[in-house]
Amino acid sequence: MALIIAGERSGVGKTTVTLTLLASLRRRDRLVQSFKVGPDYIDPMFHRHVTGRPCRNLDPVLTSEAYVQQCFARHSQLSEYALVEGVMGLFDGIGHGEWGMGHGQEKQKTDFASTAHIARLLDLPVVLVIDCSRLSGSVAAIAHGYRSFDPRIKIAGVVLNRVGSDRHLSLLKDSLEPLQLPILGVLRRQDNITIPDRHLGLVPTAELPELNALIDRLADLGDTCFNWQHLLPLLKSKPLSHPPHPPHPPSSPVRIAIARDRAFNFYYQDNLDLLQQLGAELVFWSPLEDAGIPKDVQGMYFGGGFPEVFAQQLAENTRVRDAVKTAIFKGMPTIAECGGLMYLCEQIIDFEGKPWPMAGVLPTSAVMGGRLTLGYRRAVALQDNLLVKANTTVYGHEFHRSHLTLNPTQPLFETSRYDCEENMGCEGWGLPANVHASYVHLHWGESREIPQQFLQECLKVASLETCI
């Protein structure tokens, strides 16, 4: 058993409610595993900061329905409690048409990859978070509609968020009473609990010096605002009697430099786990702070993040920029996703139009703008490249406000929207051939062949003794 925290729409406070629950559980010294529905990177950072355990993404588009079930079962059973944060509104998913047939599903499941879809897949009850700031008696209509819309979804109760006063709460309770739907939590309007955001969502945890104080305030709130007597049995997970042993990696692992700092921090933990399971030793480093690339590595991985926010500091670290460029042109296999791609460009042009020099591997510049590129992608490889063979189809996600001044002449992928036949054009840089630079974020999931192929190329570097 576990719970899913869902919202009646985006912006109702799912993340605040989830973090409040997690913070209060951790204050009680409870071991809790969290999950996040969808492709998001930033919410899981907050989960991890609170729980001390990596949050796992549950996304049947990027992986598969079977992988979602396996991932949840594997990780939830290693903790006392399990909690899933949903995405958008409970039933907000995507169309699942002809272009989305890769996982063997029916056509046009409009709530595919929604919180409701995950609830059905995992057979978990849902707690519905309702923003009560602009309603009173209508709360019952909302709760009744969500409970009756899909009888396969089990609504365990509601959390009333942004309640203004005792009188307001009384009106809400009176309205909900005929439904006999448990009120599992009441959060009053909070002026001292705010998580700042910017152009791609919440500001990541590494940039928030007052985060621990915020988490303490959330724990204080959680201690008093929830019906713990009702919630704790629902959150309880069933531990494994014999936890699985991790696989034994080879005695001579490949060393991979993972860029992880305030500029680069968008990684799916499952991807990093796969690299380790296949024998890689992960060496974390900072292109912002370090004086050079880690020694004796045979590959590099630059995840997404916010290089545009730290463009000046990245530009000023000329030793690292030069070292990255030299290593790549000497043949170092390198994955660069979204923010990582931007770092490999000649320059980043920030929101004010100011150019900042970057690694200079790719003969193009990344220009920040107001237009948001967002959505799932079906990507077909146009050529053999560092990660996949020609004609291989992968499913990924784009989320950025930059564009390139020059597109590649030999792109990696032809991309389409996941939920329809709309062609999104060609993208991705594979020249030099040891580089995979793309705006498309990939969750490798069950696709072990992707990290396997990457590590095979890294082994060639090791055998040629070209590591730095």
Number of H-type helices and E-type strands within the chain:
13, 23
Q: Cite the DSSP H helix spans in 317-447.
A: 318-329, 339-344
| Cα distance between residue 71 and residue 402, in whole Å | 32
Kindly name the residue from 55, 132, 338, 467 that is annotated as catalytic.
338
- How many Cα neighbours within 13 Å face the side chain of 86? 36
Three-state DSSP state, 232: helix
* Helix 211-225, helix 14-27: angle, nearest 10: 90
Q: Is 283 exposed, middle or buried (0-12, 13-18, 19+ CB in 10 A)?
A: middle
| Cα distance between residue 341 and residue 361, in whole Å | 10
Give yes or no for a contact between 281 and 459, defined as CB atoms under 8 angstroms apart: no
Three-state DSSP state, 161: strand
Q: What's CA 232's distance to the chain center, in Å? A: 26
Instruction: Concatenate the DSSP letters of all residues of 36-102 into one string.
Output: EESS-SHHHHHHHHHHSS--EEE-TTTS-HHHHHHHHHHHHTTSSEEEEEEEEETT--B---GGGGG
| Cis peptide, bond prior to residue 209, ω within 30 of zero | no
Three-state DSSP state, 221: helix
Does the active-site annotation cover 345?
Answer: no
Q: What's CA 362's distance to the chain center, in Å? A: 26
Please name the residue that has the structure tokens 């292109």. 287
Select from 338, 348, 394, 340 the least CA-distant residue to 369: 348
Q: What's CA 77's distance to the chain center, in Å? A: 21
Give yes or no for a contact between 440 and 408, defined as CB atoms under 8 angstroms apart: no
Q: Which amino acid belongs to residue 429?
A: W
Three-state DSSP state, 397: strand
- How many Cα neighbours within 13 Å face the side chain of 239? 9
Q: 32-37 and 81-89: which strand pairing?
A: parallel
Q: Cite the DSSP H helix spans in 179-330.
A: 211-225, 228-235, 269-277, 311-316, 318-329
Residues linked to residue 85 through DSSP beta bridges, in sequence order: 5, 36
Q: Name the residues annotated as catalytic.
A: 338
